[in-house]
Structure 1
Amino acid sequence: MDSHRAAFVAEAEDGVTDLNNALLALEADPEDDAAMDDVFRVAHTLKGNAAAMGYEDVSSFGHALEDLLDAVRGGDREVTPELMDLLFEGVDAVEAMVAEIEQTGEVSTDPSDLESRLRAVEEHGTVDPDTDENTDEDADEAADADAAEGADTETEEPDDTADGDAGIDVPEPPAAMTGFTDAVYAEVTLGETAMPGVDATLVLRALEEEFGEYLTRPDAEALENGEYDGSFDAFVADADPAVVTEGLEALTQVATVRTTLVGDRSEPDPDDAEPDGSTAEDANGTEPGEDAVHDSEPSEATDREEIKSIRVDVDQVDELYGLVEQLVTSRIKLRRELEGTGTEPETLDELDKLASSLQDTAMDMRLIPFSQVSDSFPRLVRDVARDLDKRVSFDIEGDDVELDRTILTEMRDPLVHVLRNAVDHGIEPPEERETAGKDPQGRVELTAERERDHVVIEVADDGAGLEADRLRDEAVEEGVEDRETVEAMTDGEAYDLVFHPGFSTAEEVTDVSGRGVGMDVVRTTARDLDGSVSVDSEPGEGTTVRFRLPVTVAIVKVMFVDVGGTEYGIPIKSIGEVSRADDVETVHGDEVVRHENDLYPVIRLADRLAAAEPETAAFGPGATAATDGGSAENDDGSDAGGAATAADEGMLVRIREETRKVALHCDGVLDQEEVVVKPLDGPLSGTPGLSGTAVLGDGDVVAVLDVVSL
């Protein structure tokens, strides 16, 4: 995709999002003039950009959309739910056409039917206008009004456009204008755009086609590169100010034009000297014919604002990130090889610092604001609520919080599902809410908050909430759990039943949700991203779905531990303390360790990993999978199952309380290092206790443990 098309698509996508949100604001308050202005401005920009790029179908359709909005702004059409539905349908059509342009560079959608409906509502107030006498009378009145307007136009006193706008300060024309006669000066201001170079190029092309000889300041090359501050000067030869004004105002890229005559710029008489004997050229410090900015004017280079950001294709960012991953692995390999020789030069420490700095920069480049995903959610909630005849207000907080692009991409669909559930299952119909003493309009809130190296995203509603007992009964009826198990569950554990595959609390299947699929995928997605999801609810008060996700992925700092001769990695961010295993106690038959008057259950990794799937224990050198029901043995023949390990031997890795209140027992703690963690694919994907694998510098593959699901 060429750069101009990519820029158009990027701006159009932003415009579609802005238009959706502006229409939502207008629907909420039809008297909001600012919202109306925003809607009209965005629609006008979309139409203009499409015309500039030659996408006539999009431009024509955008024109119909803009005309209808103009009728609304002028008070000729009332903001009704039906009108808003039509406008939203129009925005969806624009979005579809932009998507086709991104994929193929062409528009295959035929929007003519919807365009006709937009025109019908703009002209008649309805898609199917009446054909009775009233309509004819309205048409006659409109014709009379048009005739009267024409008469007024004809009798209107001529203005001073023949000489352009009065009072314009004409800057000193470029020296190259020597020979121009009847030149017109135009002060041209372009509208807001993300493609200043493209817009300026189209204006220059129109000047050349319509007027032929002209000059600009800055020069044409600078304008085509977008190196100007919103406006520029144009000097057109042998032209009339009114014609230049009309020609430029017809361009959608142009916001305002001010013109005036410059006068005769024929070759000056050499005898025409300044009082001091110098010529005009001498006074300006330039040679005749030199096309330069006069010294009396500020230099464009010094006045030009520095470009603060650039657009970079995501594939390039991913490629850079992949190279950084390789650099991290190579750095680990180099350090291990040098440690083997007993030398550690200072240069290696410098390399560590440079690699870490590059890694941080590359990871920051992948961070994008939550708004990149959440901006489309207000429209989603609005459409779902309207389909279900519910009244719902929707608020977003923390949309400036940044997360890794991969995480946001993967989390979009789960968040969409949870939001749909909140409106469909959570929020009650208006009559039911009023009966319960609630505001007939429900409330859904989406919040994102940064907590150290994690982001917490919550979807909360003030709807009917979940009843733990009903969830227990549903679980038994659907065969998810037996009665004895669900009766032993706390309410929090009962809420987690909604994540079981096939489990649903919907009384009837709708097109929105309730088919028993989705929430299990929501949890799986969160776990695959090394995150978690939980549900909290209060019957009659509402429900909150809480996601806890890492800010970034892939490169993490881990502590390597020895379990029966095999290395495993534990993320440093999950570790609270490391100590010798000499304080382990047995309480009611279970091993625990005390910390600040709290008891932490002890998980012996040798037992837990040996009991897992064969592949789980098969990482690293010297590991033999136990596939026959027996225990795996180390290279020295000792039992890897941990049965022979005394209670006071080995090390304890206590996990942070907020992550999971447990202590992991291992045979020893080796070292810690930053590693590139690759997610598990294929049959190993979703294996409990594993978050991925890391390739060390010597080629060994080490399993990185997921302490939450272990």
Structure 2
Amino acid sequence: MDDQYLDAFIRESEEAITDLNNSLLDLEADPDDQAAMDQIFRTAHTLKGNFGAMGFEDASDLAHAIEDLLDAMRQDEMAVTPERMDLIFAGVDTIEVIVREIESEGESTTDTAETVAQLRAVLEESDFDSESGGAPDPAALGSSDSAVDGDDGAAADGDDAPPVENFDVSADDAEGRVVRADVSVGEGDMLGVDAMLALDRITATFDLLDADPGREAVESGEFEDTFALALDAPDADAAAAELDAIGAVEDADVVDVTDALAGADDGGADESDAGDADGAGDGGGPDPAGDATPAAAGDDDGAHVDEIKSVRVDVDQLDDLHGLVEQLVTSRIKLRRAVETDDLAGASENLNELDKITANLQNTVMDMRLIPLKKVVGKFPRMVRDLSRELDKDVEFTIEGEDIELDRTILTEISDPLMHIIRNALDHGIEAPAEREAAGKDPTGQVELRASRERDHVIIEVEDDGAGLDVEGIERKAIEKGVRSSDEIEAMSDSAIYDLVFHPGFSTADEVTDTSGRGVGMDVVHDTVTQLDGSVSVDSEPGEGTTVSLRLPVTMAIVKVLFVEVGDEEYGVPLKNVDEITRTSAVKQINGNDVIKHNDDIYPVVDLAERFDVPGTHAAADAEGAETAATDGGEPADGDAAGAVASAGSDGATGAVDAAGAGGDEGMLVRIRESERQVALRCDQVNSQEEVVVKPLEGILSGTPGLSGTAVLGDGNIVHILDVVTL
């Protein structure tokens, strides 16, 4: 099997499963939601067809059984009940397991027989005819006043020749009798869809030998009033009874045509049409070896999102990419000729042209890597549904901003952290219904996931209206585990205490459960987000709920940085974080701490030489100079050339560096944007700005405070990139 087709099949199946789960949740919340029901049916039908086309018959049979049960609900033949929805969800889980097996092994070994049998058994229960509420009497079906009349079966024995001339089938093609059924599905607006539903139900019971017009034409609605089917059935009466029980069939005339076909001098049956039949959906007993157990709701992997291995690209982006590659090839040829002819002016011009082309190429490729957040969070509603049932809690889960886009790598990495946060909100945040009512709350808890874009960052918040964080419990656990001393705890603000939940191994759970309480989870969230050059914080109000906020870059890897020198070492500061560059003459002291003043706001000064213990630097001299400045109490002189503003990402940044010069013995200050962190960084001098490829820290260096990664420069030197939030 072609790997390309298999990969496309897997990705489409994954999306269909997510859509199916979410539509099923909508239907479960509102059984009268016809739009959800139609979407569910279309998705299940697509899954069935795709599995069949790829040759995975067991999965196709399972999707077919789910489709039939949903169709019975759609036709008001069966009620939407929690028990039936549980069975459908279990079937969908099994389909998901099959897709994962196909992806890893190329085939599936999961036996679907038991689940199919359970679905078929439920389907045979058909609750009611909607008028009387009573179950239809199968014995009476054959003698009903419907146009499907068993007496029509006698037509084969009459004088009139049965109409068989348009069927390419022989009597030998059937194990039983060949019957012709002229089927009507009414006069709806969606004739093809109605016919498709009828065919699917019919072929679940009988093998389809031929159709007039062909099956494809029938499912496209290309027929007038009725279409004819040649079916393999025990007899005409049995076929009439079964067709009468199918809600999608308005009426049908059934005739046994076996003898007529036997006497006709026709060729063999068109096996291709017979192959279109979906096979008899036998309602036989379950296979004792069958395993229909779905993925456990309490399993962490239940909502795990695998690495995103494909993206959908707009055709316009591909055209842009193709055009840029053409320009790149042309510019490369021109540059080579200029070098070969020693045309330095031409080479310089071509280099500038290449710089513009590669910048556009970079932007186009980075945009192509952006994927909507819903690719990850689409699976969360089902996880919340299963977990809240497991915990005996009522929870309403909503998502806002799922169309916000993030880089593929970032999106893959944050899927598990987001899942941990939501699980914690359900387990520790949301109270039991009785407890909520006793506190004057709605018994149904609320959990909301919100995403918004702020310049080149995305903010993702998970908010619940539960009990909030237990400050005293966190303090007690922190002291017990030796995370902080009692004196340190007393000096900490509530916000700082909340952040202790990110400490490795920290958990306030009294016992280990399948949901949480293992002492892992929130520390993983912190480490993962930090490695992505992001930040995470917690805000909570006792009795009112908790909000966990993740701040993440939209893209990563290629970053424009400002290079600063500290002694003999060089560091890179992401230019997007830089607001202004000044000389250290602006430094004053407040309570013994170095600070600078900007727009009436106080910015603490972080000395990079001291923070990273860089030997032989200006740190001692600057400290002495700062004390003198603090004694004099003088303000920095207005109009100092070093006070030029370096706007991140603008040409002004370069000008500021040039105006500042080397900085002399005073050193330089890089003031960070207030939106990132209200702080100024002290260094020896500020150099140039440049785009670099940032590699995250790995191994024992992973998660080092103040560092987000490293970059390799053109001369081969390695430079550390600063994380201004954790510095």
**Both structures adopt the same fold (TM-score exceeding 0.5):** yes
Q: CA deviation at 1:246?
A: 4.8
Taking the aligned partners of 1:438 and 1:581, their CA distance within structure 2 comes to 55
* Partner residue in 1 for 2:504: 501
The aligned amino acid for 2:149 is D
* Partner residue in 1 for 2:239: none
What is the SS of the residue equivalent to 1:643? helix
Name the Cα RMSD after superposition.
3.4
Pair 1:143-2:143 in alignment = no
What is the SS of the residue equivalent to 1:413? helix
* Partner residue in 2 for 1:708: 725
* Partner residue in 2 for 1:263: none
Deviation string, structure 1 residues 48-80 (Cα, Å, up to 9, x no partner): 222222211111111111121122223333222
User: Conserved in 2, the CA contact under 8 Å of 1:467 and 1:538?
Assistant: no
User: Conserved in 1, the CA contact under 8 Å of 2:143 and 2:150?
Assistant: no
User: Which of residues 582, 586, 598 is equivalent to 2:585?
Assistant: 582
* Partner residue in 2 for 1:256: 221
5+ unaligned residues in a row in structure 1: which ranges? 127-136, 165-187, 193-209, 212-241, 261-308, 611-616, 618-631, 633-638
What is the SS of the residue equivalent to 1:345? helix
Taking the aligned partners of 1:566 and 1:593, their CA distance within structure 2 comes to 24
Deviation string, structure 1 residues 294-313 (Cα, Å, up to 9, x no partner): xxxxxxxxxxxxxxx99579
* Partner residue in 2 for 1:685: 702
What is the SS of the residue equivalent to 1:644? helix
Q: 1:430 to 1:255 in 2, by over 3 A?
A: farther
Q: CA deviation at 1:154?
A: 5.2
What is the SS of the residue equivalent to 1:593? strand
User: Conserved in 2, the CA contact under 8 Å of 1:584 and 1:593?
Assistant: yes
* Partner residue in 1 for 2:413: 410
Taking the aligned partners of 1:101 and 1:448, their CA distance within structure 2 comes to 33
Pair 1:696-2:713 in alignment = yes
**Structure 1 stretch 20-29 or stretch 639-648: which is displaced more?**
639-648
* Partner residue in 2 for 1:306: none
User: Conserved in 2, the CA contact under 8 Å of 1:460 and 1:545?
Assistant: yes
User: Which of residues 597, 619, 633 is equivalent to 1:642?
Assistant: 619
Q: CA deviation at 1:659?
A: 1.1
User: Conserved in 1, the CA contact under 8 Å of 2:696 and 2:709?
Assistant: yes
What is the SS of the residue equivalent to 1:464? coil
Pair 1:467-2:470 in alignment = yes
Deviation string, structure 1 residues 469-518 (Cα, Å, up to 9, x no partner): 33222212332211110111111101101111121122433211122111
What is the SS of the residue equivalent to 2:76? coil
Q: State how 1:202-351 maps to structure 2 within 5 Å.
A: 243-248=211-216, 254-258=219-223, 345-351=348-354
* Partner residue in 2 for 1:567: 570
Q: CA deviation at 1:12?
A: 1.5
* Partner residue in 1 for 2:280: none
Taking the aligned partners of 1:683 and 1:247, their CA distance within structure 2 comes to 63
* Partner residue in 2 for 1:302: none
* Partner residue in 2 for 1:53: 54
Q: 1:35 to 1:311 in 2, by over 3 A?
A: closer
5+ unaligned residues in a row in structure 2: which ranges? 128-133, 167-189, 195-207, 226-309, 627-664
Q: CA deviation at 1:661?
A: 1.3
Taking the aligned partners of 2:41 and 2:118, their CA distance within structure 1 comes to 19
Deviation string, structure 1 residues 323-342 (Cα, Å, up to 9, x no partner): 99xx9xxx9xx9xxx9xx99
Pair 1:664-2:681 in alignment = yes
User: Conserved in 2, the CA contact under 8 Å of 1:430 and 1:440?
Assistant: yes
Q: CA deviation at 1:566?
A: 1.6
User: Which of residues 590, 594, 614 is equivalent to 1:591?
Assistant: 594
Taking the aligned partners of 1:432 and 1:123, their CA distance within structure 2 comes to 41
Deviation string, structure 1 residues 599-648 (Cα, Å, up to 9, x no partner): 111111111111xxxxxx6xxxxxxxxxxxxxx3xxxxxx2372234447
Taking the aligned partners of 1:49 and 1:395, their CA distance within structure 2 comes to 31
User: Conserved in 1, the CA contact under 8 Å of 2:499 and 2:538?
Assistant: yes
The aligned amino acid for 1:4 is Y
Pair 1:152-2:130 in alignment = no
The aligned amino acid for 1:74 is Q
Deviation string, structure 1 residues 2-31 (Cα, Å, up to 9, x no partner): 333233222211111111011000000111
* Partner residue in 1 for 2:425: 422
Q: CA deviation at 1:353?
A: 1.1
The aligned amino acid for 1:245 is P
Q: CA deviation at 1:345?
A: 2.5
Aligned-residue identity in percent: 57
Using the size of structure 1 for normalisation, the TM-score is 0.70
Taking the aligned partners of 2:578 and 2:345, their CA distance within structure 1 comes to 30
The aligned amino acid for 1:55 is F
User: Conserved in 2, the CA contact under 8 Å of 1:245 and 1:259?
Assistant: no
Q: 1:7 to 1:476 in 2, by over 3 A?
A: same
Taking the aligned partners of 2:593 and 2:345, their CA distance within structure 1 comes to 45
What is the SS of the residue equivalent to 1:257? coil
User: Conserved in 2, the CA contact under 8 Å of 1:472 and 1:487?
Assistant: no
Taking the aligned partners of 1:161 and 1:691, their CA distance within structure 2 comes to 78
Q: 1:311 to 1:452 in 2, by over 3 A?
A: closer
Q: 1:95 to 1:598 in 2, by over 3 A?
A: same
Taking the aligned partners of 1:546 and 1:572, their CA distance within structure 2 comes to 23
User: Which of residues 551, 554, 578 is equivalent to 1:551?
Assistant: 554
Q: 1:551 to 1:245 in 2, by over 3 A?
A: same
The aligned amino acid for 1:142 is P
User: Conserved in 1, the CA contact under 8 Å of 2:41 and 2:67?
Assistant: yes
Q: 1:581 to 1:343 in 2, by over 3 A?
A: farther
Pair 1:94-2:71 in alignment = no
User: Which of residues 447, 451, 476 is equivalent to 1:448?
Assistant: 451
What is the SS of the residue equivalent to 2:612? helix
Taking the aligned partners of 1:108 and 1:189, their CA distance within structure 2 comes to 38
Taking the aligned partners of 2:90 and 2:364, their CA distance within structure 1 comes to 41
Deviation string, structure 1 residues 156-205 (Cα, Å, up to 9, x no partner): 999x99999xxxxxxxxxxxxxxxxxxxxxxx99989xxxxxxxxxxxxx
User: Conserved in 1, the CA contact under 8 Å of 2:618 and 2:684?
Assistant: no
Pair 1:370-2:366 in alignment = no
Taking the aligned partners of 2:586 and 2:345, their CA distance within structure 1 comes to 36
Q: 1:97 to 1:146 in 2, by over 3 A?
A: farther
Q: CA deviation at 1:688?
A: 1.5
User: Conserved in 2, the CA contact under 8 Å of 1:244 and 1:259?
Assistant: no
Taking the aligned partners of 1:457 and 1:255, their CA distance within structure 2 comes to 44
**Structure 1 stretch 647-656 or stretch 524-533: which is displaced more?**
647-656
Q: CA deviation at 1:155?
A: 4.8
Q: 1:692 to 1:598 in 2, by over 3 A?
A: same
The aligned amino acid for 2:686 is V
Taking the aligned partners of 1:25 and 1:190, their CA distance within structure 2 comes to 26
Q: 1:651 to 1:12 in 2, by over 3 A?
A: same
The aligned amino acid for 1:561 is V
* Partner residue in 2 for 1:432: 435
Taking the aligned partners of 1:346 and 1:191, their CA distance within structure 2 comes to 62
Taking the aligned partners of 1:2 and 1:259, their CA distance within structure 2 comes to 42
Q: 1:599 to 1:311 in 2, by over 3 A?
A: closer
What is the SS of the residue equivalent to 1:602? strand
Taking the aligned partners of 2:135 and 2:358, their CA distance within structure 1 comes to 75
Using the size of structure 2 for normalisation, the TM-score is 0.68
Deviation string, structure 1 residues 349-374 (Cα, Å, up to 9, x no partner): 22221111000011111100001001
User: Conserved in 1, the CA contact under 8 Å of 2:404 and 2:452?
Assistant: yes
Q: 1:343 to 1:3 in 2, by over 3 A?
A: closer
Q: CA deviation at 1:100?
A: 2.0
Q: 1:189 to 1:698 in 2, by over 3 A?
A: farther
* Partner residue in 1 for 2:396: 393
What is the SS of the residue equivalent to 1:258? coil
* Partner residue in 1 for 2:297: none
User: Which of residues 604, 607, 626 is equivalent to 2:607?
Assistant: 604
Taking the aligned partners of 2:142 and 2:383, their CA distance within structure 1 comes to 42
**Structure 1 stretch 378-387 or stretch 675-684: which is displaced more?**
675-684
* Partner residue in 2 for 1:79: 80
Taking the aligned partners of 2:312 and 2:3, their CA distance within structure 1 comes to 13
Q: 1:588 to 1:472 in 2, by over 3 A?
A: same
